[in-house]
């Protein structure tokens, strides 16, 4: 049996009773990505708060490992209980559909344990979930690669008065250019896009296109560390949010569409006062 278990967004206490019970039953526990484990806290003995809660070790599986060793992980799930832990919901922003498809093809039973993900927890800012259009991902611009295909999606959402959830780029275990040339893998330090960078890029695009789906006076909501004890939510114009230090990752951004009075009332609590 393969259990794919959502851990929710905050800390180790965000797992469900059903999820914890499944983990305790499992002979092997995998977790996607190293940085995720770090975000759950490491203590002096090197164990994570998750491992302490579960009373068993966790095997860290980055994307590379999942892709290369999926067959191995899945084979174990043939005769034993294997848990695969995922931050958020199993089918949230990051998809694990492929792992499920492979498992099903190998006739392995799969159980999903759902949890909150950014896709629904974003509701906390007060903008109603059924008033969102298509979600977009904003990748880091580089000197030579400045993709902006998400602009049309934002534009369409805005034209229909819908809100847009912008998921901001996470670059973890990216091989350095040097290592790619030398054929020996070394990795860049992890990078997480801030709300400030996202807005900078968004404004650059609209300027370059000489269009106006949004501008520096467009109302947005910036959210940092959503679901954590120290989450930060600020509503304001792009210009206002650009000046705010939202602190540690992860960040995300909502570009508002047409708002309803009840939405406005809630946004007021988060409004930037500068």
Residue matched to tokens 């927890």: 121
* CA nearest neighbour of 136 among 191, 62, 200, 198: 198
Asked whether position 21 contacts its own copies by CB under 8 A, the answer is yes
Asked whether position 51 contacts its own copies by CB under 8 A, the answer is no
Asked whether position 147 contacts its own copies by CB under 8 A, the answer is no
The H-or-E segment that residue 165 falls in is: strand 164-168
Asked whether position 71 contacts its own copies by CB under 8 A, the answer is no
Provide the 10 A C-beta neighbour count for residue 180: 12
Asked whether position 211 contacts its own copies by CB under 8 A, the answer is no
Q: Any idea of the CA torsion for 135, 139, 141, 147, to the nearest 10 degrees?
A: -60
Asked whether position 132 contacts its own copies by CB under 8 A, the answer is yes
**Any binding-site annotation on 92?**
yes
Which residues, including other chains, have CB under 8 Å from residue 186's CB and lie 6 or more apart?
175, 176, 178, 179
**Interaction with its own copies in 82-111: which residues (CB under 8 A)?**
89-93, 95, 97-98, 100-101, 104
Give min distance, CB of 13 to its own copies, in A: 4
Question: For residues 66 and 188, which CB has a smaller minimum distance to its own copies in the complex?
Answer: 66
The three-class DSSP label of residue 264 is helix
Asked whether position 187 contacts its own copies by CB under 8 A, the answer is no
Yes or no: say if 253 and 221 are a contact pair by the CB < 8 Å rule: yes
Give min distance, CB of 175 to its own copies, in A: 24
Joined together, the tokens standing for residue 99 give 């792992």
Question: Which residues contribute to the site for its own copies (CB under 8 A)?
Answer: 6, 8-18, 20-21, 89-93, 95, 97-98, 100-101, 104, 112, 114-117, 119-121, 123-124, 126, 128-137, 156, 160, 162, 167, 227, 262-263, 265-266, 269
Q: Which residues are annotated as a binding site?
A: 9, 89, 92, 117-118, 168, 226, 251
């Amino acid at each position: 049996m393969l259990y794919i278990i959502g851990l929710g967004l905050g800390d180790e206490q965000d797992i469900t009773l059903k999820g914890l019970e499944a983990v305790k039953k499992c002979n092997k526990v995998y977790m996607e990505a190293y940085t995720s484990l770090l975000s759950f806290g490491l203590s002096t003995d090197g164990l994570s708060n998750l491992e302490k809660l579960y009373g068993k070790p966790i095997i860290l599986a980055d994307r590379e490992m999942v892709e290369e060793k999926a067959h191995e992980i899945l084979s174990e799930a043939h005769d034993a209980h294997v848990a695969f832990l995922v931050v958020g919901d199993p089918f949230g922003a990051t998809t694990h559909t492929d792992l499920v498809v492979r498992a099903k093809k190998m006739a392995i039973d799969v159980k999903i344990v759902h949890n909150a993900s950014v896709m629904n927890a974003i509701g906390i800012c007060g903008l109603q979930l059924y008033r969102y259009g298509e979600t977009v991902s904003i990748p880091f611009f580089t000197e030579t690669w400045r993709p902006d295909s998400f602009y049309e999606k934002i534009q369409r959402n805005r034209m229909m008065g819908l809100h847009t959830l912008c998921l901001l780029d996470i670059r973890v275990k990216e091989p350095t250019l040097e290592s790619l040339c030398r054929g020996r893998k070394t990795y860049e330090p992890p990078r997480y896009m801030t709300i400030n960078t996202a807005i900078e890029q968004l404004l650059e695009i609209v300027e370059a296109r000489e269009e106006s789906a949004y501008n520096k006076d467009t109302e947005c909501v910036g959210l940092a560390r959503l679901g954590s004890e120290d989450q930060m939510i600020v509503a304001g114009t792009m210009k206002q949010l650009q000046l705010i230090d939202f602190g540690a990752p992860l960040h995300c951004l909502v570009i508002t569409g047409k708002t309803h009075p009840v939405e406005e009332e809630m946004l007021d609590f988060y409004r930037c006062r500068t």
